[in-house]
């Protein structure tokens, strides 16, 4: 069967998520089987977009690639997706679920456009465009469209997005860039262009106050997690299924604190199967997040 066959395209998306986003993959395991492949296709798109952008980071092709994906999105909505697996999978998703095209547009533009993060407000916008949109789409494939659900998932998406940004901090530091609010970088006197080559190299050490910055960013992520939980008992019975990624976020923030907010410590960034499965299982059993 060809990779361009819808079933093979959906399988491809699942494999991509399993290999590159363990927490998301485990989250999907707790979703109804008829929903699961489409959930993975949403996140496979996010992974594809991020990898595409990073591969042409210092190239004038970024705007061209963004335009290609936006044109492809129009084609998907016209039932003529590009002949590549992620596009075919998203086309299948559209056939069976009521989803908003605008969420995909924000995801594509958010990932390809160079962020302007002056403060927490613009940081939120960046997180929403790059991560929360996936959470919105998860709600929609679960057929939840209420204001209360979207308000809660906004906070959940920001908490998860902050975690993902912190997890990528080592990579970004090696590239000589950070995606943190500029006012916080100025507060802690951290140059935007500072980098850390590797964990053993002492010739390019980050200043001590960098970890104070990580503490403040992590506290903001944790605050969003707590806000997401505030009214969870007022949400529809099965809405918790869209929020299970918070189990990973909570584990991460606790582990980061345990290791003194040293985001470069491998122990803060590595997740194992069983603890994540067990934590999400307990949340799913109690129908909470």
Q: Which of 114, 133, 154 is the last residue of a domain?
A: 114
The CB-side HSE value for 205 (13 A sphere, CA atoms) comes to 8
Residues 52 and 129 in one domain: no
Residues 154 and 70 in one domain: no
Domain that holds residue 158: 115-289
- Residue 190 is predicted with a pLDDT of 84
Instruction: Kindly report the backbone phi and psi dihedral angles of residue 161, in degrees, each rounded to the nearest multiple of 5, phi listed first.
Output: -65, -40
- Residue 41 is predicted with a pLDDT of 98
User: How many structural domains compose the chain?
Assistant: 2
d(CA 229, CA 246): 9
Which residues, in sequence order, are CB contacts of 206 under 8 Å at separation 6+?
Answer: 173, 190, 194, 196
Residues 239 and 147 in one domain: yes
The span from the first CA to the last CA of the chain, in angstroms, equals 39
d(CA 71, CA 228): 34
Residues 134 and 245 in one domain: yes
Residues 161 and 255 in one domain: yes
Residues 137 and 215 in one domain: yes
Residues 83 and 120 in one domain: no
- Residue 201 is predicted with a pLDDT of 43
What is the CA angle 29-251-282, rounded to 5?
A: 45
Residues 127 and 18 in one domain: no
Long-range contacts of 31-35 (CB under 8 A, 24+ apart): 31/142, 31/241, 32/241, 35/141, 35/142
Listed as ranges, residues in the chain with pLDDT below 50 are: 195-203
From the CA atom positions of the chain, what is the Rg in Å?
19
Residues 157 and 76 in one domain: no
Q: Which of 95, 114, 133 is the last residue of a domain?
A: 114
Residues 272 and 200 in one domain: yes
- Residue 77 is predicted with a pLDDT of 97
Residues 177 and 56 in one domain: no
d(CA 16, CA 93): 17
- Residue 175 is predicted with a pLDDT of 78
CATH classification at residue 12: 1.10.600.10
């Amino acid at each position: 069967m060809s990779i361009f066959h819808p079933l093979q395209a959906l399988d491809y998306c699942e494999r991509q998520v399993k290999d590159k986003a363990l927490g998301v993959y485990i989250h999907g395991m707790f979703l109804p089987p008829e929903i699961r492949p489409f959930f993975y296709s949403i996140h496979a798109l996010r992974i594809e977009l991020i990898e595409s952008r990073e591969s042409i980071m210092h190239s004038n092709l970024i705007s061209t690639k963004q335009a290609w994906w936006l044109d492809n999105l129009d084609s998907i909505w016209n039932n003529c997706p590009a002949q590549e697996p992620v596009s075919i999978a998203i086309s299948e998703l559209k056939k069976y679920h009521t989803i908003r095209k605008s969420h995909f547009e924000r995801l594509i533009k958010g990932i390809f456009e160079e962020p302007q993060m002056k403060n927490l407000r613009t940081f939120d916008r960046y997180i929403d465009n790059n991560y929360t949109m996936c959470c919105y789409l998860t709600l929609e494939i679960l057929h939840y469209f209420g204001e209360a659900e979207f308000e809660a998932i906004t906070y959940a998406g920001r908490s998860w997005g902050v975690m993902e940004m912190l997890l990528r901090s080592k990579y970004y530091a090696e590239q000589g860039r950070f995606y943190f609010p500029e006012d916080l970088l100025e507060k802690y006197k951290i140059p935007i262009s500072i980098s850390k080559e590797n964990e053993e190299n002492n010739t390019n050490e980050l200043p001590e106050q960098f970890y104070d910055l990580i503490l403040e960013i992590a506290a903001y992520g944790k605050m969003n997690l707590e806000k997401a939980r505030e009214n969870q008992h007022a949400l529809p019975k099965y809405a918790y299924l869209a929020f299970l990624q918070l189990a990973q976020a909570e584990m991460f923030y606790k582990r980061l604190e345990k290791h003194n907010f040293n985001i470069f410590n491998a122990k803060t960034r590595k997740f194992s199967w069983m603890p994540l499965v067990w934590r999400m299982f307990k949340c799913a059993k109690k129908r909470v997040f």
